[in-house]
Amino acid sequence: MRSNFTSEDTIKALQEVFCRTGFPRKIVTDNGPQFVSLSFRQFLKENNIEHVTSPCYHPASNGLAERFIQTLKGSLGETSNSDINTKLQKFLLSYRNSIHSSSGNSPAKLLFGRNIRDWLDNLGPRPSRNQESTICRQFHPHDIVLVRQYVNKHPKWKVGRMFGLLGIKCMQSM
């Protein structure tokens, strides 16, 4: 993973985010060269974004971002460059669905109004096609119905009259 991003790389990454989420009113960064360059300042000015920088050599002033980086690094651990993108995507999906103590909601819930579907949603039982499309008919006493009779292992259908329900799929008829 590269550690020397240019202001052009940073602008491109921000444009990708802003096309999905819209422009923020304010952005907070450290004093890295990519954030104090003329092209970066011009990009922010063109998009009417206020730029706030944290004091030099004082990471505590940007504590939320520093804490996120610490959590991210702990999650990625000793990851090879070949699978860092996969691990990063899994981490971000999980992080964005996690409830944060400061807001009581997940970032996804705050941004989209709902949590994002993830692999945990696939663990529960999936409804079968029959469950999704079955329409349960409501029967009432004295309705005329078709009755299936099992005689000598050969089911036969005949017209009958409904008298009462014995169960979900079993009724009393004449």
Given a contact cutoff of 8 angstroms between Cβ atoms, the answer to whether 146 and 157 are in contact is yes
| Residue whose tokens read 């949590």 | 115
pLDDT tens-place string over residues 50-66: 999 888 777 777 777 88
pLDDT tens-place string over residues 77-126: 877 777 888 888 888 888 889 998 888 999 999 988 998 888 777 777 76
Given a contact cutoff of 8 angstroms between Cβ atoms, the answer to whether 96 and 105 are in contact is no
Instruction: Look at residue 22 and tell me whether its pLDDT is greater than 60.
Output: yes
E-assigned strand segments in 30-134: 50-53
Residue with more model confidence, 60 or 69 = 69
Amino acid 71: pLDDT:
86
Instruction: Look at residue 23 and tell me whether its pLDDT is greater than 70.
Output: yes
Mean predicted lDDT score pLDDT of the chain: 82
Handedness of CA 112, 109, 101, 124 (dihedral sign): negative
Retrieve residue 18's tokens: 């802003």
Domains (range + CATH), the chain: 1-58 (3.30.420.10)
Amino acid 40: pLDDT:
97
Given a contact cutoff of 8 angstroms between Cβ atoms, the answer to whether 40 and 14 are in contact is no
3-state secondary structure of 164: strand
